[in-house]
Amino acid sequence: MSAASSPFDWKIRVYYEDTDTSGVVFYANYLKFFERARTEWLRSFGFQQQQLAETTGAIFVVKGTSVDYLSPARLDDELKLTVVVEKLRNASIEFVQEAWRLPSGNGAAGNNQEATLLARGRITVVCVDAASFRPQQIPAELLSRIKTAPGLPRQDAP
């Protein structure tokens, strides 16, 4: 499937615990931010990770990641995280995610008037059986909702 035209957005604030001693977000924390955004993206379809595991035996595990870091986020910055489905298959999803610093006079970055792209990641998740950790199909109802959501991919993957 091709990339979506309209990403899912989730906002967070950078807290002290997210930063290193210089007040800059520690690089690995972007993966945590992206994980939270994907969880909220899933929740926007009416699904919760625990509920999926309990009712279908399906859980999602990260198979691979790559992140390009473009500009630092700092303590008190407000970030917008985006989630776009790049490829949707029967048992896996490839996401493109971005972290943007939003304009504000409150963060350490000063009085920005434009959003700044901070990091872009590509994350592949695989649906697996919670007991065996063997790949399984994404539950049909969830797969259907993803396929019919506004701004998400419409064509079948090869």
CA 157 – CA 155 distance, rounded (Å): 6
Known catalytic residue at 20: yes
At 95, the amino acid letter reads F
Adjacent-strand bridge partners of 81 = 10, 99
Q: Are 24 and 93 in contact (CB under 8 A)?
A: no
For residue 147 the two structure tokens come to 């396929």
Q: Give me the amino acid identity at 93.
A: I
Among residues 20, 76, 77, 129, which one is catalytic? 20
- Which residues are part of the catalytic machinery? 20
